[in-house]
Amino acid sequence: MIDDLGTPLARRPAVVRRVVSLVPSLTEALASVDRGALVGVTDWCTHPGDLEVPRIRGTKNPDTRAIAALAPDLVIANKEENRELDVRRLRAAGVEVWVTDIETVPQSIASMERLFDEALGWDRPAWLGTARQLWCTDPTPARARVAVPIWRDPWMVVGRDTFTGDLLARAGLPNVFADHAERYPALDLAVIDGAGADAVLLPDEPYVFTADDGPESFARTPTELVEGRLITWYGPSLIEAHAVLQALLPR
């Protein structure tokens, strides 16, 4: 069996019992099936909120020695969220790592299906089938164009080939910067405000936009505060995201 990047697993038990997750959204997905199997997660793994598991620092600076000491059957990582260097260090220490690669909603669901079926040997959760039904059929017709800043000072937005952009497009909210040459371009505020979006969506991660920090910057474009987890995470949040995004902005 091979992960999303084509790297084979050298060995693993038929059913994985000890997992370290380096991906917050996948931590939530794994916990929905067997939270007891999680033996290590990152500081950014906030869902479920009552998860009591050893923390191994962040997604970009995990403590690889601490991870190896936990003796996991498998470490779950993601190409975008985690560093190749850390994956190499873990594999050099004899730790099996399964790397996911996700840029679209259908890709995320297919990747999670393979994760449960092949990498973990676990039963698929019911929400995964529901997510496929909700998101992998005909997209909602476009009703409003949006821009999605992810940082300020400097301002950065969601650009091309991203999970967030695909999710929003499928919900009828295409990204005005979907054709930008970069995936997360840094742009002048005036460019974002003047891009012709019907709304600017301000998430609470990675930058924590709030009612007092973000909306005041936009003179021309209406703004909407959104839960970042619902537009950037794949996992059980896909169910809630579908309902929230379908109701967001005028139809």
Average pLDDT over residues 120-139: 94
Distance of CA 223 to the CA centre of its chain: 22
Q: Let me know if domain 19-135 sits in CATH 3.40.50.1980.
A: yes
Q: Which of 202, 165, 168, 199 is nearest to 180 (CA)?
A: 165
Residues in the chain, overall count: 251
Type and span of the H or E element at 190: helix 189-193
Q: What is the pLDDT of residues 66-108, one digit of tens each?
A: 999 999 999 999 999 999 999 999 999 999 999 999 999 999 9
pLDDT, position 251: 53
Average pLDDT over residues 59-68: 97
Give Cα separations from 123 to 22, 52, 53, 189, 227 (angstroms). 21, 23, 22, 46, 29
Q: What angle do CA 237, 15, 76 make, to 5 degrees?
A: 45
Banded model confidence at residue 14, pLDDT cuts 50, 70, 90: confident
Domain limits, the chain = 19-135, 146-247
Average pLDDT over residues 137-160: 95
pLDDT, position 249: 79
Q: What is the pLDDT of residues 202-243, one digit of tens each?
A: 999 999 999 999 999 999 999 999 999 999 999 999 999 999
pLDDT, position 99: 98
Percent of the chain with pLDDT over 90: 94
Distance CA 4, CA 24 (A): 18
CATH code that applies to domain 146-247: 3.40.50.1980
Distance of CA 61 to the CA centre of its chain: 17
pTM metric for this prediction = 0.93
Q: What is the pLDDT of residues 45-59, one digit of tens each?
A: 999 999 999 999 999
